[in-house]
Copies of this chain bind each other. A is one copy, B any other.
Amino acid sequence: MRAKKNLIRDGTTVDVMVRAIADRIVVGDLKPGGKLDEATLAERFAVSRTPIREALAQLAAMGLVDRRPNRGAIVTAVSQAQLASMFESMAELEGICARFSALRMTSHERAALESGHQASSRLVHLGKEEEYEAYNTEFHSCLYRGAHNTHVFELVTLTRSRLAPFRRAQFRLSGRLAKSWDEHDAIVTAIMRGDGNAAGEAARVHVNKVSNASLVFVSGSSD
């Protein structure tokens, strides 16, 4: 009876709701500061309030929504300062991952990283923004995994997911694609040399560039 929905039924209904609501927030259907009415959401997704409540609790734990006791949930309004702090954190975390990757990646991981990186240059020359963005995600994931530190992986994944809505449009900036590749190249090169500090620094520089590119859009669109 439940496996008939058009939604993918990976896990429990709560999980589906979490992703559904998170998507709405990320897409922009639900704006920062907007109230999240439990009954309305329940009706909209044709479920009861209980899974909605649990989903909101999880989203609150993720930081996507704010939940005041007895006063409902609202979409977290991230200030410019908070956003900047998150990007800064991201740069630091990626720096850590890159440094650890340079010191700890297995030969197999190194090979995969470099081959993917070299292959991605094709996407740059062809100007395939969408595909490059997909590869870019994979590239960074490689770094996170290569650090061989489960907790850092968690932290960096969490931060990245929170920043996802704001990172979307950065590749629209002219020349950003090629610059991104060059920055990746610096990271890969340092990792291949086993130079942890250089890799970390390169990664920090890279993310800071991305941050600036992204903040341009946000500052233009937000209040």
Interface residues of A (CB under 8 A from B): 11-12, 14-15, 50, 53-54, 57-58, 61-63, 69-70, 81-82, 85-86, 88-89, 92, 96, 149-152, 154-155, 158-159
Contact B57 A155 (CB under 8 A): no
Q: Which residue of B lies closest to A70 (CB)?
A: B12
| Chain B hits for A54, CB < 8 A | 53-54, 57
CB A37 to nearest CB in B, in angstroms, measures 18
CB A21 to nearest CB in B, in angstroms, measures 14
Known: A12-B69, A92-B96, A155-B155. A150 touches B81 (CB 8 A): yes
CB A215 to nearest CB in B, in angstroms, measures 14
| Chain B hits for A88, CB < 8 A | 149, 151-152
Q: How many identical subunits does the complex contain?
A: 2
| Assembled-state Cα–Cα distance A57/B12 (Å) | 13
| Chain B hits for A53, CB < 8 A | 54
Q: Which residue of B lies closest to A163 (CB)?
A: B151
Contact residue among B63, B69, B86, B151 (Cβ-Cβ distance under 8 Å from A85): B151
Contact residue among B50, B58, B155 (Cβ-Cβ distance under 8 Å from A61): B58
| Assembled-state Cα–Cα distance A46/B58 (Å) | 24
Contact A82 B151 (CB under 8 A): yes
CB A73 to nearest CB in B, in angstroms, measures 13
A-B contacts, 23 of them at CB < 8 A, read A11-B69, A12-B69, A12-B70, A14-B57, A15-B69, A50-B50, A53-B54, A57-B58, A57-B61, A61-B61, A61-B62, A63-B154, A82-B150, A85-B150, A85-B151, A85-B152, A89-B149, A89-B151, A89-B155, A92-B152, A151-B159, A155-B155, A155-B158
Contact residue among B12, B58, B63, B151 (Cβ-Cβ distance under 8 Å from A86): B151
Besides A61-B62, A63-B154, A89-B155, 9 more A-B contacts (Cβ < 8 Å) are: A11-B69, A14-B57, A50-B50, A54-B54, A57-B57, A57-B58, A89-B151, A151-B159, A155-B159
CB A29 to nearest CB in B, in angstroms, measures 23
Q: Which residue of B lies closest to A62 (CB)?
A: B61
| Chain B hits for A151, CB < 8 A | 82, 85-86, 88-89, 159
